[in-house]
A = this chain, B = another copy of it.
């Protein structure tokens, strides 16, 4: 029987109880409105852990003032059904005031290259919010393993760096991007898209696939690959590019020459909806 709890003390007690019984604890942190990407995380976590916790929390500290915190889609009832089907043991769905009570003032910041570019540039406080809430969730649940989607590639790199830097005892596991049949990367924000915008959004994934093709046919220049992706968006009126970056997958440092492994990461606004996607090219 899956449990739903709202309070930090409740999830702490449940997770500590499981650990005391010798169970391994897994955590899948989410902002809810679950899709197949989340389900894939839960399935892997279910297989690898005795006790599986999922958090559902639209974390206000990772949204900028002009971003979509208020309109971010929510459907707890459906989320709980999906969690139950995935064999989750406990769902932690706190109120904002439970996570950030009045007077809250402690933040975890990962400085340097890993947060400087990509989403860190256009969303300056985003990763501070991510690092802070993930630190809190790790302290609350004390998982042995935590699962994140590779779609947020920079987030994965930031969290891995934070865990290493602060000596947290948790294994951070990144799971592959889950895509629709036509290539669109799953995202809770896809729900914002009109039918024609959804069509336009396909250029994110298809330009990334094209870029990988270009690289495997011998292109080594990051500028050329960027130019190719840019050109793919040239005719799409709804699209405005936030960034197209080719970086080291671990450090997020920009590459000018593509060798070994390169992460191609893009953020594009389609209408009012900011979408991200990425792919790793191996040379």
Contacts and interface: CB of A to CB of B under 8 A. Distances in A.
Contacts of A142: 169
Interface of A: 8, 12, 103-112, 114, 131-132, 135-136, 139-140, 142, 161-162, 165-169
A105 B139 contact: no
Contacts of A104: 165
Contacts of A132: 166
Given A135-B166, A139-B168, A169-B139, A106 B105 contact: no
Contacts of A161: 105-106
Contacts of A108: 106-109, 166
Given A136-B167, A167-B139, A110 B105 contact: yes
Contacts of A166: 106, 108, 132, 135-136, 139
8 contacts: A104-B165, A105-B110, A105-B114, A106-B161, A107-B108, A108-B166, A136-B166, A139-B167
Contacts of A106: 108-111, 131, 161-162, 165-166
Nearest to A139: B167
Contacts of A131: 106
B169 A12 contact: yes
A250 to B, nearest CB: 11
Nearest to A141: B167
Contact of A107 (B103, B109, B169): B109
Contacts of A167: 8, 12, 136, 139-140
A252 to B, nearest CB: 12
Contacts of A105: 110-112, 114, 161, 165
A134 to B, nearest CB: 11
Contacts of A114: 105
A26 to B, nearest CB: 18
A8 B166 CA distance: 11
A103 B109 contact: no
A101 to B, nearest CB: 9
Nearest to A22: B20
Nearest to A131: B106
Contacts of A12: 167, 169
Nearest to A103: B112
Contacts of A162: 106
A166 B106 CA distance: 7
Contacts of A136: 166-167
Nearest to A114: B105
A12 to B, nearest CB: 7
Nearest to A109: B107
A117 B135 CA distance: 27
A169 B11 CA distance: 13
